[in-house]
Structure formats: structure tokens, C-alpha cells
Chain A
């Protein structure tokens, strides 16, 4: 029989674990993405932002307000338009790692962060 039901505490721990798992999974995606993002002086690579708030995770390149990085104007162009990037870099540098890595990474990090 339940003597002391501490729902809010459980909910908080659950939310924290979810956010943590999401952030770790996005870090995995970001790690792979960093290997593919067009690289000259690493301006674009360094502008990577990962943020998780209340179960909503975001990953992006290109800076802008709220990221702490100046806007990198060519971030979208290089993501969308194929070009002759050097050093094995490519366009779709975030979309493809996300598709390839995120589902498995999230399953793994959720297992690791279980309550």
C-alpha cells in the first residue's frame, strides 16, 4: 500500500532524465556531424548549438540570436546545396547524421538514464 506518494518528485526526476538522455543523444549526432560539416577555419563547426528545454531538444549550426555565436550566413546554403567540399566534407551535414544516428542514440541514452 502506498504510504507516501511523491508524484511531483518522480515527475521532476523523470523530466530531468528525459532531458539528459535527449541531450546526450544530440551530442552523439553532433559528434558525427562535426566530421561532415564543411571545414575551412572551423567557423561553421564551432557554431554548433545543442539545447534541451522541457523535453524539446534542438541541434543546429549557423549561430544567431540566443546561441552565443555570430550568424554564419552560409550555413544553410552549405547544408542544402552540394558543392565540391574538401576533406571528405559534405552538404546535408546535419540531416544525414541525424537520420543515421539519432534514433539508436536516443534508445541507448534512455536506457542509460533510466530512473
Chain B
């Protein structure tokens, strides 16, 4: 899944406490990468090109640090193109922003959450497409 590749890329860049499709109940600052839907490309029926949606949630008790982490993730990923996120991963055509980092909420444990969304267009060779 694309979330695992994004997670691995963020880890390689020095981000810590990153999870894919899981948000643990902890007060430590965490980053969660979720797979989500994206608009389907008309050419996806015949060509090996797909779009995946990615949501990155950052949660922690230090409001400034959380905001900075969300911004750092955005700055790192947006515009990524023509390369792989991890060895053996899919060739990424382009990562485009779908939603700029936005503050969502502070919960009863004083944890702030920021959210940012991306659309990832990538090469995906499948059985019946090439």
C-alpha cells in the first residue's frame, strides 16, 4: 500500500513514531499515514497508472511541535516526482497536495491534531495493464 511507502520515506528522512493506518492511544507525538480514496484516472483502465489518496495525521501535546511536524511532512512530500519512495517501491509520477496542513482539534488530553492530504499518482504494473 502507498501508506507503507510514504511511512518508509518519512522514516528515512528522520521522522519518528510513524504508523501506517493506525493511530495509537499515546501522549507521545505520533504521525499516522492513512490510505484513502482518490479520484480515479480515466486512463487507469488500460494504462499502468493509478492514483492513491494519502492522509497524514500528526498528534501530540506540544502544539508548536505538532504544527511544525505537519508542515515539515508537507514540505518534504509535496512536488515529489519521478522517483521511488523506497527501494523496490512504485515509481511515483507526482505527489500533489490535496489539502494544506490544517489544525483539526485539541482533545481532552490536550493533544493537538493536524491533518494534511495528498494525491499520489504512480506507476502500477498489474496483470492486465502495462
Q: Does A99 interact with chain B (Cβ within 8 Å)?
A: yes
Is A96 in the interface zone, CB < 8 Å from B? yes
Are B104 and A76 neighbours in the complex by a CB distance under 8 Å? Answer: yes
Instruction: Assess whether B113 is in contact with A99, with CB atoms less than 8 Å apart.
Output: no
Task: State the CA gap A100–B55 with chains docked (Å).
Answer: 17
Please indicate the chain B residues that have their CB under 8 angstroms from the CB of A92 in the complex: 36-37, 55
Is A81 within 8 A of B104, CB to CB?
Answer: yes
Interface contact tally, CB-CB below 8 A: 36
Residues of B within 8 A of A76 (CB): 104-105
**Interface of chain A, main secondary structure:** helix
Band of interface residues on B: 10 to 19
Main secondary structure, interface of B, reads: strand
CA distance A48 to B14 in the complex (A): 41
- Per the 8 Å Cβ criterion, residues 59-115 of A in contact with B are 76-77, 80-82, 92, 95-96, 99-100, 103
B residues with CB within 8 A of A: 23, 34, 36-40, 53, 55, 57, 104-105, 113, 115, 117
Chain A contact residues, CB within 8 Å of chain B: 76-77, 80-82, 92, 95-96, 99-100, 103
